[in-house]
Copies of this chain bind each other. A is one copy, B any other.
């Protein structure tokens, strides 16, 4: 770093790094939205796809356990 690199430059560099990363993150969010739009355009159900993405993130054994509990609660509450 050059001698002129005082605390002000350092703050600017940190802020600019964050801004670039935020920009990149926004771009990826837009890409995700585009993929869902692409899926919707060919007839897929976006809420169901989002739930599938969430399900696939879970460990299989945790997922099976949650499904079992949900079924128990659904029948206890009369949800078919």
Q: Give A residues with C-beta under 8 Å from B.
A: 7-8, 10-12, 14-15, 17-19, 21-22, 24-25, 28-29, 31-32, 35-36, 38-39, 42, 44-45, 47-49, 51-53, 55-56, 60, 63-64, 66, 69-70, 73-74, 76-77, 79-80
Name 5 A/B residue pairs within 8 A (Cβ), A-sorted. A11-B49, A25-B28, A25-B29, A45-B66, A63-B79
Q: How far is the CA of A47 from the CA of B58 in the complex (A)?
A: 13
Determine chain A's interface SS by DSSP, over half rule: helix
A53 to chain B, nearest CB (A): 6
Q: In the complex, how many angstroms separate the beta carbon of A55 from the nearest chain B beta carbon?
A: 6
Residues of chain B with a CB closer than 8 A to A76's CB: 7-8, 11-12
